[in-house]
Amino acid sequence: MKLEVVAASALKQKPQDETKLGFGNLFTDHMFTMQYEEGKGWFDAKIRPFENFSMSPASSVLHYSQTIFEGLKAYHTDKGINLFRPWDNFTRMNVSAKRMCMPEIDEEFVLKCLDELLEIEKDWVPKAPGTSLYIRPTMMAIDPFLGVSAGKQYLFYIILSPVGAYYESGLSPIDIYVEDEYVRAVDGGTGFAKAGGNYAASLLAGEIAHKKGFAQVLWLDGKEKKYVEEVGSMNIFFKIRGELITAPLAGTILPGITRDSVITLARDVFGVNVREAKIAISDVYEENASGGLEEVFGTGTAAVISPVGGMTWENKDIVVADGRMGELTHKLYDTLTGMQYGTVKDDFGWIKTL
Ligand code: COI
């Protein structure tokens, strides 16, 4: 498939103060789009001005949420723009696509189109410390049809947004609310897919938690509400008596690329024993009471590595690591972000420099 480029006739002003970007508010001048029709495959690949879409109010995505997305970042470095494991995002997108009855994309082609888009938009990659250009690939069913069935027409697009920290509090430890009423995913459901509906279903608990002053919800398993699964936009790790524990990839949590990288860094660079195992929230509390709970942090593309300073479960509050960022959390953060920003050598083949 050929890639057509249509340049924007006027360019927007770039952000004046890169320290105040926030997350996901601003978008660059161009986007990538391509279309799919059953029997025809993907076609009409284009880099074109960022603008609103026009679609039928009957479009199936608007009714039944047949939509998936990805999130990755481009980092400014002295030697060019760095991407972190971008191929893994498109591989994961195809896993989500299969679960949601959507067509797979040609990962190599889409990666090339992303390179082209970033070449055109490279001046949008912010340079201030901790900032990056967030990349949001998205796919949705656009058939103008109200029957409940998998779409036959799809739109895939990539938009770019210069961002700072995901949380308003930046790198300060966050407080999380352990949700004991609602659940995010169940066995056999869509928890492992990056499907829009998973996030819609999480909003009510998130809103309640926000009103109570918490940054995020920590989800427990959908069956017993006993085992820790993941946080709203992050996977979660517990350092207990020197060992790092995180929930296993058993179909209900997102297979995070940052999660996978942190497991490798902790094991191979810092010699920490890492276990992907079920962990009961009651055990986390008991370990905290007996002094065994040393650090808690979340991982995600948007959130990077985010220390957790406090948790509340069934009205019981605990403070983790004196509410400060733990030592291992700090080392993992410095190493991961160092690789992303090109100041720490990448021995794992994770970085692609454009
Ligand atoms: C990401 O980390 O890129 C995510 O997908 C989280 C997002 C929902 C903000």
How confident is the model over 130-159, as pLDDT tens digits? 999 999 999 999 999 999 999 999 999 999
Q: How far is CA 6 from the centre of its chain?
A: 29
pTM over 0.85: yes
- Mean of pLDDT values over 81-107: 98
- Mean of pLDDT values over 103-131: 97
CB of 71 shorter than 6 A to ligand 1: yes
CB of 137 shorter than 6 A to ligand 1: no
**Bridge partners (DSSP) listed for residue 3:** 45
- Single out the residue of 97, 198, 196, 197 nearest to residue 154, CA to CA: 97
Tokens of 226: 């006993």
DSSP secondary structure letter of residue 59: B
Tokens of 326: 């733990």
Atom index in ligand 1 nearest the CA of residue 300 equals 2
Domains defined for the chain, CATH in brackets: 4-163 (3.30.470.10), 174-345 (3.20.10.10)
Both ends of the chain: CA-CA distance in Å?
22
Fill in the amino acid letter for 17. Answer: D
pLDDT of res. 8 = 97
Instruction: Give residue 168's pLDDT band: very low, low, confident or very high (50, 70, 90).
Output: confident
CB of 138 shorter than 6 A to ligand 1: no
Instruction: Give residue 351's pLDDT band: very low, low, confident or very high (50, 70, 90).
Output: very high
pLDDT of res. 303 = 85
Instruction: Give residue 218's pLDDT band: very low, low, confident or very high (50, 70, 90).
Output: very high
- Mean of pLDDT values over 236-261: 97
pLDDT over 90 at 302, yes or no? no
Q: What is the distance between the alpha carbons of residues 331 and 349, in angstroms, rounded to a whole number?
A: 20
CB of 301 shorter than 6 A to ligand 1: yes
Burial of 305 (0-12, 13-18, 19+ CB in 10 A): buried
Instruction: Give residue 215's pLDDT band: very low, low, confident or very high (50, 70, 90).
Output: confident
The Cα-based distances of 349 to 228, 339, 353, 354 in angstroms read 31, 10, 11, 14
Distance from Cα 69 to the centre of ligand 1, integer Å = 9
Q: Are 176 and 217 in contact (CB under 8 A)?
A: yes
Q: What is the distance between the alpha carbons of residues 147 and 60, in angstroms, rounded to a whole number?
A: 8
Distance from Cα 70 to the centre of ligand 1, integer Å = 7
pLDDT of res. 172 = 87
Sign of the CA dihedral running 199, 203, 209, 210 = positive
Query: In the structure, how many helices (H) and strands (E) does the chain have?
Result: 8, 18
Each residue's pLDDT tens digit, 13-52? 999 999 999 999 999 999 999 999 999 999 999 999 999 9
Q: Please count the other Cβ atoms lying within 10 Å of the Cβ belonging to residue 113.
A: 24
pLDDT of res. 166 = 83
Ligand 1 pocket test: pick from 88, 217, 233, 260 the residue with the most ligand atoms within 8 Å of its Cβ: 233
Say what the alpha-carbon torsion angle 255, 259, 264, 266 is, to the nearest 10 degrees.
-150
Distance from Cα 165 to the centre of ligand 1, integer Å = 12
